[in-house]
Amino acid sequence: MTEGLKIENVYTAYDKADVLEGVSLEVRPGKITCLLGSNGVGKTTLIRSILGLTVPRDGRITFNGEDITGLSTHKVIAKGISCIPEGRKVFPKLTVEENLRLGAYQVTSEAVIRERIEEAYEIFPRLKERHVQLAGTMSGGEQAMLSIGRGLMSSPHLLLVDEPSLGLSPLFVKENFSIIERINERGVTIFLVEQNMRQTLAISDYGYVLSKGAVVAEGDAKALSENDEVQQAYFG
């Protein structure tokens, strides 16, 4: 039985100052779990801690029952965790297809890589139309699609999505959230880290609210969206 991702009492510091202060949360298998919070509260630091980019000074991170705290990033990815970073971060001078291939850098079989590229094109027909286009010449929304497609190339069990609405038009934000739902329907567990409270809770099963490096509220997504204290903690 898969146990998903568990963060237990994690403290992560930069220059001896704690950014995360005893964060505990759980990302349940097969679900969309969200972490809400405004800028600078520690959301991206938590993703960095999960990926082994910034090692927690205390606490424990487990995935499917296995301790991955402080594991090197390529080993974390090999466990079945993939990340779509904040701000998309495509390789601008590479084509769409070359960007996708980089997402499968740990895969040795060309047949498997080809199959996963075709799956990405099935989810994003626009990427197939532009497979030879340089990523840097695409719109922000198209680059967001490419970033998600690249994140799926490792065939992850868990997808960490950091601020997918950042810098996008409302139309592309809506499209992106719809795509995240479709990926979840394919069996991929999603941990969605966002500022956009309303749309995030609309597609999530369960949510947490982070403020000043600590979880200040949690609950069923619908209950959170109707909770006055959450609104106050979040917007206040």
| Contact indicator for 46, 12 with CB cutoff of 8 Å | yes
Domain boundary among 135, 155, 175: 155
Under a CB-based contact definition with an 8 Å cutoff, are residues 84 and 151 in contact?
A: yes
Check whether residue 173 and residue 74 sit in a common domain.
Answer: yes
Tokens of 47: 């993703």
Q: Does 87 score more than 80 pLDDT?
A: no
Contact 69, 56 (CB under 8 A): yes
164 with 76, same domain?
A: yes
Q: Tell me which residue range forms the domain holding 206.
A: 1-80+157-236
187 and 227 share one domain: yes
Taking the model in full, what pTM does it have? 0.89
Domain boundary among the residues 155, 187, 204 is at: 155
Residues 16 and 104 placed together within one structural domain of the fold: no
Q: How many CA atoms lie within 13 A of 88 on its CB side?
A: 23
Q: What percent of the chain has pLDDT over 90?
A: 66
Q: Please report the pLDDT score of residue 110 as a whole number.
A: 95
Domain boundary among 155, 182, 211: 155
Q: Which residues does 47 contact at the CB level (< 8 Å), separation at least 6?
A: 83, 160, 162, 193
What residues contact residue 14 under an 8 Å CB cut-off, 6+ apart?
A: 45, 54
pLDDT of residue 153 exceeding 50: yes
Q: Report pLDDT for 231.
A: 72
3-class SS string, 166-191: CCCCHHHHHHHHHHHHHHHHCCCEEE
Residue 112: Cβ within 10 Å count: 13
Distant-in-sequence contacts of 126-131, Cβ < 8 A, 24+ apart: 127/96, 127/100, 130/96, 131/95, 131/96, 131/97
Q: Are residues 161 and 145 in the same domain?
A: no
**If pLDDT is split at 50, 70 and 90, which confidence band does 233 have?**
low
How do residues 158-197 score in pLDDT, each as one tens digit?
999 998 888 878 888 888 899 899 999 989 999 999 988 8
How far is residue 20's CA from residue 139's CA, in Å, rounded to a whole number?
34
Reported as a pLDDT band with limits 50, 70 and 90, residue 76 is very high
Residue 7 clears pLDDT 90, i.e. is over it: yes
pLDDT at 88: 66
Instruction: Report DSSP state, residue 39.
Output: T
Which of the residue ranges 63-77, 156-170, 200-214, 221-235 would you say has the lowest mean pLDDT? 221-235
- How long a stretch of residues is the chain? 236
- Look at residue 229 and tell me whether its pLDDT is greater than 80: no
Section 207-218 average pLDDT:
92
Q: How confident is the model at residue 120 (pLDDT cuts 50, 70, 90)?
A: very high
- pLDDT of 2 reads 58
Which has more pLDDT, 183 or 2? 183
- In whole angstroms, give the CA distance from residue 180 to residue 94: 25
Residue 236 has pLDDT above 60, yes or no: no
Residue 178 burial (CB count, 10 A): 10
pLDDT tens digits for 91-115? Answer: 999 999 999 999 998 899 999 999 9
- Whether residues 2 and 68 share a domain: the answer is yes
Q: For residue 235, how far is the Cα from the chain centroid?
A: 23
Looking at the structure, tell me whether residues 169 and 76 fall in a common domain: yes
pLDDT of residue 1: 43
The answer to whether residue 155 scores a pLDDT higher than 80 is: yes
Helix ranges (H only) for the chain are 43-50, 73-78, 96-102, 110-123, 125-129, 140-152, 170-185, 197-203, 221-225, 228-235
pLDDT in tens, 48-58: 999 999 999 99
Tokens encoding 194: 């966002």
User: How many separate domains does the chain show?
Assistant: 2
Question: Would you say residue 127 lies in a domain?
Answer: yes
